[in-house]
A = this chain, B = another copy of it.
Amino acid sequence: MKLEKDQIFNADCLSVLKKMPKNCVNLIVTSPPYADNRKSTYEGISVESYVKWFKPISKELLRVLKPKGSFVLNIKERVIDGERGTYVIELILEMRKQGWLWTEEYMWHKKNSYPGKWPNRFRDGWERCLHFTKEKGFNMYQDEVKVPTGDWASSRLKNLSKTDRIRDESKVKSGFGKKIENWIGRDTVYPDNVLHFATVCENKGHSATFPSELPEWFIKLFSKKGDIVLDPFLGSGTTAIVAKTLERHYVGMELNKTYYKLAKENISKFVPTKIKKRKVKGKEILSNERNIK
């Protein structure tokens, strides 16, 4: 299969990945389905089989990723019978056996974590963003995520107020250069490996597993314009939308038909491109043309 840019598949990611050529994507950002506590699950993945389920996928991801590319895995283990599940840390060990380098673990601090009160724990306010690479000398564009110093920056990080959000959205839409302009005269510093983003709620209009700021940060950090960003569990399409907005190409898979349609709808709505359907060798693929407004 030749890799067509900017398309999404309504299919199991493993089957699509196997048809993809090796070393073809620059960055993988995804948040896979979380494990399900129920013993017998027909759509979810059980806790017991999680590692076994994910291993063939991570093996293919290793194959399709370019040598200097990165794989960012957003995940968090469930509480199982009063304990934190061990399947995530077991997965790390298994992926290293496959050849992945566990380069870093970024922490996503969710300021608005799910409420609740229990006798043995507090609300869970963070998730892992595991950073895997194929080589030590992977691409990392640190200057693209520098943050300004001073109160303005820290307050923006801790609390995305309404004005900040407007600024943030315009920043994404107009590209990164404009943001730099806004910060001229200010000192900028490199961030640390802790990310402060609020989760998205349903009332924002579209449900998503992670806020757009999360893939945005990693896409800026680990890819450049024109690169290809892959999300094998696309969900409602957040990764693809952000990638396209940042002038990267996207490839995505989503098994669930409802989410696939939602992603397609969201992408067509948000991305300033005209999507055309085309038949190639009996298969329907997507190609896009630049929409010169």
| Chain B residues, Cβ within 8 Å of A150 | 111
A194 at the interface (CB under 8 A from B): yes
**Is A122 an interface residue when CB atoms closer than 8 A count as contact?**
yes
With a cutoff of 8 Å between Cβ atoms, the chain B residues found around residue A86 in the complex are: 92-93, 96, 102
Q: Is the CB of B138 within 8 A of A193?
A: no
Contacts of A119 in B (CB 8 A): 137, 140, 142
Q: Smallest CB-CB separation from A161: which chain B residue? A: B151
For A117, the closest partner residue in chain B by CB is B190
User: Quick check: which of A25-33, A37-45, A152-160, A243-251 contacts chain B, the rest being far away?
Assistant: A152-160
Bound Cα distance A244, B117 (Å): 30
- A187 nearest CB across to chain B (Å): 14
Does residue A168 face the partner (Cβ distance < 8 Å to B)?
no
Q: Which of B107, B113, B142, B291 contacts A158 (CB 8 A)?
A: B291
**Cβ of A101: which chain B residues have Cβ within 8 Å of it?**
82-83
Residue-wise interface mask of A (72-107) relative to B, using a CB-CB cutoff of 8 A (1 in contact, 0 not) = 000000000111101001101100100001111101
Residues of chain B with a CB closer than 8 A to A292's CB: 154, 157-158, 196
Smallest distance from the beta carbon of A165 to chain B beta carbons, Å? 14
A279 in contact (CB, < 8 A): no
Please give me the residue from chain B that is nearest to A86 by CB atom.
B93
A154 to B, closest residue via Cβ: B292
Task: Kindly list chain B residues whose C-beta atoms are within 8 Å of the C-beta of A291.
Answer: 158-159
Since A125-B193, A125-B194 are in contact, a sample of 7 more A-B pairs with Cβ atoms closer than 8 Å, ordered by chain A residue number, is A84-B102, A84-B105, A89-B89, A120-B137, A123-B193, A124-B192, A158-B293
Measured CB to CB, the residues of A under 8 A from B are 81-84, 86, 89-90, 92-93, 96, 101-105, 107, 109, 111, 113, 117, 119-126, 136-138, 140, 142, 150-151, 154, 157-159, 190-194, 196, 291-293
